[in-house]
């Protein structure tokens, strides 16, 4: 349900699984096909969407390709190194991360270097997160045992998990200069302080029936007050909210109304709205993006209803193919509170803004 404030649909030349912000004016997208050259594009948002309020008139409603580059390998993850012109990508084959540079005087994104990933894992690819500082470090790993931080410039390993645990990683997120969070595909969550030897505060480990489900998670910055700031999403639609001080007992949980388990659990994504309290977006089950208000749940795990569902990717589908498009990723606009971007497997890219009918917030 819900009503649109605004909705713009675009078609990329190739589908993307990444939507990474470069400041608040542009996003990077990248192709994920194997066996062919993929494009990495730095897109400038249409002018009318890239400002805080609609001051005066901004005629431009098109994305502009500001920079483009070519990757021989598929790109499943792309991270911007804050305050630099560097990007780090990861995909298959998972034996290397690639570092790229976006320059001012050319519109070509140049390959700069590669970071070798010690353990190659066949169909697994390393998740990536960036410790941004004077000397940025790249946190990466496909499994807990291969998790390490590598200095971007010197390529020296500055931190290593040092464990033999072969659990597969699903999400990695840097929280501040010293901590990061991880979520394994099994649902195991942990917060790690890199100043100490590996000693994460974590949950008990996979629960019953966990093997059938795949999990991902995101830590959100809280705007005000205490409360759960970690959301974990299971491939059966279960959404759990946790307080970082007690990862073993979710504060609240609900079940998203999804008809079947996700056809591509690796695409599952849950995000916190940076500009709204207790507001989450979920995608990866089908061609929709669902927005939830966690305060409206009773928290006991029963079915919850989204406050808004973006169905544009299904409705605007041009070709009558058998496979309905699947939303591959979504992201919130950094400062327009109800604006999101979403991309789907049919190469569509949407920018939309929903009307909030909840009580004044």
- 9 interacts with another protein by CB under 8 A: yes
10 part of the interface to another protein, by CB under 8 A: yes
> Interface with another protein includes 148 (CB under 8 A)?
no
Considering the complex, state which of residue 216 and residue 349 has its C-beta at the smaller distance from another protein: 349
Q: Please state, in angstroms and rounded to a whole number, the distance separating the CA atoms of residues 30 and 71.
A: 9
Q: Which of 24, 25, 51, 65 binds another protein (CB under 8 A)?
A: 65
Compute the distance between CA of residue 292 and CA of residue 109 in angstroms, rounded to an integer.
37
Contacting another protein (CB under 8 A), which of 26, 31, 69, 94? Answer: 69
What's the CA gap between 355 and 153, in Å, rounded? 45
Among 57, 134, 359, 360, binds another protein (CB under 8 A): 57
Piece of 38-46, 80-88, 190-198, 302-310 that binds another protein (CB under 8 A): 38-46
* 64 lines the binding site for another protein (CB under 8 A): yes
Tell me how far, at minimum, the Cβ of 315 lies from another protein, in Å: 10
* Nearest distance from C-beta of residue 58 to another protein, angstroms: 8
Measured from the Cβ of residue 316, the count of other Cβ atoms closer than 10 Å reads 16
Determine which residue in the list 35, 52, 53, 56 makes contact with another protein, applying CB under 8 A.
56
The answer to the question of residue 43 lying near another protein (CB under 8 A) is yes
Asked whether position 66 contacts another protein by CB under 8 A, the answer is yes
Cβ closest to another protein, residue 3 vs residue 105: 105
With CA atoms as reference, report the closest residue to 173 among 214, 125, 124, 140.
Answer: 140
Strands (E), 284-333: 289-293, 300-303, 308-310, 327-332
| Residue 37 in contact with another protein, rule: CB under 8 A | yes
Q: Examine residue 209 and tell whether it contacts another protein (CB under 8 A).
A: no
Least distance in Å: CB of 6 to another protein? 9
Q: How far is the CB of 109 from another protein (least distance, A)?
A: 8
- Residue 224: CB atoms within 10 A of its CB come to 6
Decide if residue 35 touches another protein (CB under 8 A): no
CB of 321 to another protein, least distance (A): 18
Structure tokens at 27: 């996003």
Complex with another protein: residue 37 or 335, whichever CB lies closer? 37
CA 333, 339, 343, 348 dihedral sign is negative
Closest CA to 334 of 282, 291, 273: 273
Q: Would you say 291 and 279 are in contact if contact means Cβ atoms under 8 Å apart?
A: yes
Report if residue 240 touches another protein, rule: CB under 8 A: no
Degrees to nearest 5, angle at CA 323 with 318 and 327? 80
Among 299, 316, 317, 324, binds another protein (CB under 8 A): 316
Question: CB under 8 Å to 40, separation ≥6 — which residues?
Answer: 28, 29, 30, 31, 68, 69, 70, 71, 75, 78, 87, 89, 100, 109
Sheet holding 109-116, edge to edge: 77-80, 86-90, 96-102, 109-116
Among 191, 247, 349, 356, binds another protein (CB under 8 A): 349
Contacting positions for another protein (CB under 8 A): 7-13, 37, 39, 43, 46, 56-57, 59, 61-70, 105-109, 316, 349
């Amino acid at each position: 349900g819900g009503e649109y404030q605004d909705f713009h649909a675009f078609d990329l030349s190739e589908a993307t699984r990444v939507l990474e912000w470069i400041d608040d004016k542009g996003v990077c997208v990248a192709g994920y096909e194997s066996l062919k050259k993929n494009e990495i594009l730095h897109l400038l948002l249409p002018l009318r969407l890239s400002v805080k309020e609609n001051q005066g008139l901004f005629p431009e409603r098109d994305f502009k390709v500001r920079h483009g580059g070519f990757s021989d390998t598929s790109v499943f993850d792309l991270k911007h190194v804050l305050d630099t012109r560097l990007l780090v990508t990861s995909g298959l084959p998972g034996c290397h991360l690639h570092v790229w540079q976006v320059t001012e005087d050319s519109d070509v994104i140049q390959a700069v270097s590669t970071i070798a990933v010690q353990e190659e894992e066949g169909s697994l690819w390393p998740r990536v997160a960036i410790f941004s500082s004077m000397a940025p470090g790249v946190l990466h790993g496909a499994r807990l045992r291969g998790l390490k931080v590598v200095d971007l410039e010197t390529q020296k390993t500055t931190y290593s998990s040092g464990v033999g645990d072969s659990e597969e990683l699903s999400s990695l997120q840097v929280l501040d200069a010293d901590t990061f969070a991880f979520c394994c595909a099994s649902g195991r969550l942990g917060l790690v302080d890199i100043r100490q030897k590996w000693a994460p505060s974590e949950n008990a480990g996979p629960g019953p029936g966990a093997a059938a489900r795949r999990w991902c998670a995101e830590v959100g910055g809280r705007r005000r007050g205490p409360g759960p700031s970690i959301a974990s999403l299971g491939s059966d639609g279960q959404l759990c909210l946790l307080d970082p001080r007690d990862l073993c007992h979710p504060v609240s949980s609900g079940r998203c109304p999804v008809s079947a388990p996700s056809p591509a659990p690796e695409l599952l994504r849950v995000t916190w709205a940076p500009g709204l309290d207790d507001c989450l977006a979920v995608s990866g089950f089908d061609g929709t993006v669902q927005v939830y208000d966690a305060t409206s749940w009773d928290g006991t795990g029963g079915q919850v209803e989204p406050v808004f569902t973006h169905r544009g990717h299904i409705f605007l589908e041009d070709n009558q193919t058998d496979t309905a498009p699947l939303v591959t990723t979504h992201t919130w606009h950094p400062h327009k509170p109800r604006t999101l971007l979403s991309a789907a497997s049919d190469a569509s890219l949407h920018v939309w803004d929903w009307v909030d009918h909840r009580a004044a917030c």
